[in-house]
Amino acid sequence: MRRHDLVWLDPQAPWQVLTAGADARLRAWAQARLPFVVARRDRASDEHQVRFGVPLPLAEHRQRLSLRVAPSAVLRCAPPPPLAEVAADIGPAWRERLHGLVTVTASLPVAPRVFGSAAWQHLTGLPYLHDDSDLDLLFEVADTQHADQIVAVLQHHERQHPLRLDGELRFPGDRAINWREYASGAKRVMVKGNDACWLVPREALAAWKVAA
């Protein structure tokens, strides 16, 4: 399981709640067959368990809940939903915003997936989005050439449309970089892995490629 993956948990499984007072809400969430998201592991404390989170909808002030549980409690696991799937289901106002983005990203070697508020609204049917919400996109990139192509498309789209695009470029080895930070040309960039974050020199990215 990787960061941003979605899981459905056994509501009867033993787990450790990491948000005070949230056990009943988390149990109700699991019983409703709603997904949890894989969070970054803490190697010092998680041991053989996996850390999951739930961002609650607008009506519950977007509170973030988290827990740890054994992998055996996972009933199903799936990647974040594709952009085209979210756009088709998100409602008229946001569908209009996303239509052009679906079209321009169709030319890319890999389709973007969606995490964040838009994904949660799509997955749960609960209200997460507001007028100023960003759209969080996840791209699986093969190398820096692929990343450069994606960034060029996103920058061009933002110049033509008011919707702010956020998200990550995930390189081989589950090493993710915020696309804006990558696009900035910074000499060092923050990398987010499944269990750690670290800074790397930009020139190191050239070696991150899918194995031939």
**What DSSP line would sit under 25-94, residue for residue?**
HHHHHHHTT--EEEPPP-TTT-TT-EEEEEE--GGGTT-EEEEEE-GGGEEEEEPPPBHHHHHHHS-HHH
How far is residue 20's CA from residue 44's CA, in Å, rounded to a whole number? Answer: 20
Catalytic, 136? Answer yes
**What DSSP line would sit under 91-120, residue for residue?**
-HHHHHHHHHHHHHHTTSSS--EEESHHHH
- For the chain, how far is it from start to end, CA to CA, in angstroms? 23
Residue type, 7: V
Catalytic, 134? Answer yes
The one catalytic residue in 134, 143, 148, 174 is 134
Residue 107 pairs in a beta bridge with: none
How far is residue 122's CA from residue 126's CA, in Å, rounded to a whole number? Answer: 8
Please report how many Cα atoms fall inside a 13 Å half-sphere around the Cα of residue 155, on the Cβ side.
12
Residues annotated catalytic, as ranges: 134, 136
